Copies of this chain bind each other. A is one copy, B any other.
Amino acid sequence: MKIKGNLIIFSTDNEERKDVRRLKEKKLQLLLLDDNTFPIFDVKKDEYIKDAATYKMEELFGTSKFYIEQLYTWGDPKYYTNKEEVIVTYLGIINKKNIKTMLKNMDFYDINIENENSKIQKVTLCNDSRKIQYRIETITKRERENIDYINKLVQKSEIDELTAIIIHTGIKRLRNRIENTNIAFSFLNKEFAISELQQIYEIILDKKLIAANFRKKIEPMIKKTNKIVKESAYRPSSLYTFNDAFIRNWV
A residues sitting closer than 8 Å to B (CB atoms) are 1-3, 43-50, 52, 64-67, 70, 72-73, 75-77, 83-84, 86, 88, 140, 142, 144-147, 172-173, 175-176, 181-183, 185-186, 190, 244, 247, 251
Contact = CB atoms under 8 A, between A and B. Distances in A.
A77 B48 contact: yes
Contacts of A183: 146
A1 B43 contact: yes
Contacts of A86: 3, 43, 49, 88
Contacts of A140: 247
B144 A77 contact: no
Contacts of A50: 75
Contacts of A145: 65, 67, 185-186, 190
Contacts of A142: 244
A75 B1 contact: no
Contacts of A43: 1, 75, 86
Nearest to A146: B67
B146 A186 contact: yes
Nearest to A74: B49
A144 B65 contact: yes
Nearest to A66: B144
A73 B73 contact: yes
Contacts of A175: 251
B83 A147 contact: no
Contacts of A45: 1, 77, 83-84
- The 3 A-B residue pairs with the shortest CB-CB distance, nearest first, are A49-B75, A176-B251, A73-B73
A48 B72 contact: no
A85 to B, nearest CB: 9
